[in-house]
C-alpha cells in the first residue's frame, strides 16, 4: 500500500473535521473513498496559493480542494464520480457552485461578521494561530486583521451587505432547493446507492451551517426538510466513522 496522503489543513471544529468547509470537504472525500491520509496543521504563508487545504502527493504540492479531487482521479488514487452520467455531472457542477460560492458566504456572515458567531468561532481561529506558533501577544491583533479581511471579502461578494435576516431567508431558499433535488432520488446517497463527490461537498457545507452549536439561527435550516435531514445523517455517520 502506498504511503498516506499528507493533507495540510487547520484544526477540528467540534464534530467537524476542520474549521474550513473546504478542508472538511476534502477530508469527507478521502474518508468516503477510504483513502488513508495524515493531516497536519498547515501554514497559509507557505501554502500554494496561500490557502488551505493542500496535499503532498506524487512529489507534488497540490492546492485547492477541487483540484486535489481531480488530481487524485487523474493519478488513479480514487474517483468517486466515475459512475456518474452526464446529467448527474451537470447537477453536481451546479450544486458545487451553489454551496461553494453562495452558501459559503452566508456561513462567513454568521461566523465572521456577526458578533454572536465570532464570539464562538474566533476562539477556534485563535487556537489555529497559537498552535501555529504565533506569539500570544500577536494573536489578538492578527485575529482582528484576519476578521476584517474576511468580512471585506463577504462584503465584496454581496452576502456581507445583507443583514442577518436577509441572509437567513436566502439560506432557507438554498436549503429548500437542496431538498427538491433530493426528492428526485431514492438515496441513501445523493445520486443513489453509492457515494460521489456530491456527498462530500454538500455534507461539508451543510454541516458547516447546521452542526456547530453557537446559538445561531442557521443551525435549524435543515429541520423542515426530511429528505435532506435523512441524507445528511446518513453521510454524517459515515464520514465520522472514516467512511466505514
Which CATH number fits the domain that encloses residue 236?
1.20.1050.10
Number of domains in the chain: 2
Average pLDDT of the residues in 76-86: 97
pTM over 0.75: yes
* pLDDT at residue 180 tops 90: yes
Asked whether residue 80 is assigned to any structural domain, the reply reads no
- Residue span of the structural domain in which 153 resides: 86-240
pLDDT digits (tens, 9 = 90+) for 14-43: 999 999 999 999 999 999 999 999 999 999
Domain end point (choices 74, 98, 130): 74
Instruction: Provide the pLDDT for residue 207.
Output: 98
Instruction: Provide the pLDDT for residue 242.
Output: 62
Same domain (yes/no): 23, 103: no
Strand partners, 214: none
Same domain (yes/no): 160, 60: no
Same domain (yes/no): 175, 227: yes
Amino acid at each position: 500500500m502506498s504511503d498516506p496522503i499528507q493533507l495540510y489543513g487547520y484544526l477540528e471544529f467540534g464534530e467537524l473535521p476542520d474549521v474550513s468547509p473546504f478542508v472538511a470537504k476534502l477530508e469527507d472525500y478521502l474518508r468516503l473513498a477510504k483513502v488513508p491520509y495524515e493531516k497536519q496543521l498547515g501554514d497559509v504563508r507557505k501554502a500554494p496559493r496561500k490557502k488551505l487545504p493542500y496535499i503532498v502527493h506524487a512529489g507534488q504540492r497540490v492546492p485547492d480542494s477541487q483540484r486535489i479531487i481531480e488530481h487524485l482521479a487523474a493519478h488513479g488514487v480514487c474517483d468517486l464520480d466515475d459512475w456518474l452520467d452526464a446529467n448527474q455531472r451537470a447537477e453536481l457542477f451546479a450544486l458545487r457552485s451553489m454551496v461553494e460560492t453562495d452558501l459559503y458566504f452566508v456561513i462567513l456572515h454568521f461566523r465572521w461578521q456577526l458578533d454572536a458567531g465570532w464570539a464562538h468561532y474566533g476562539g477556534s481561529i485563535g487556537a489555529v494561530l497559537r498552535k501555529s506558533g504565533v506569539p500570544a501577544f500577536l494573536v489578538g491583533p492578527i485575529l482582528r486583521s484576519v476578521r476584517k479581511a474576511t468580512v471585506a471579502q463577504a462584503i465584496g461578494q454581496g452576502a456581507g451587505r445583507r443583514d442577518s435576516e436577509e441572509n437567513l431567508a436566502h439560506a432557507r431558499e438554498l436549503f429548500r432547493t437542496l431538498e427538491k433535488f433530493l426528492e428526485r432520488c431514492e438515496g441513501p446517497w445523493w445520486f443513489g446507492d453509492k457515494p460521489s463527490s456530491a456527498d462530500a461537498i454538500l455534507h461539508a457545507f451543510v454541516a458547516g451551517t447546521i452542526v456547530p452549536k453557537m446559538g445561531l439561527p442557521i443551525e435549524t435550516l435543515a429541520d423542515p426538510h426530511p429528505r435532506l435531514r435523512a441524507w445528511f445523517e446518513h453521510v454524517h455517520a459515515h464520514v465520522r466513522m472514516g467512511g466505514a
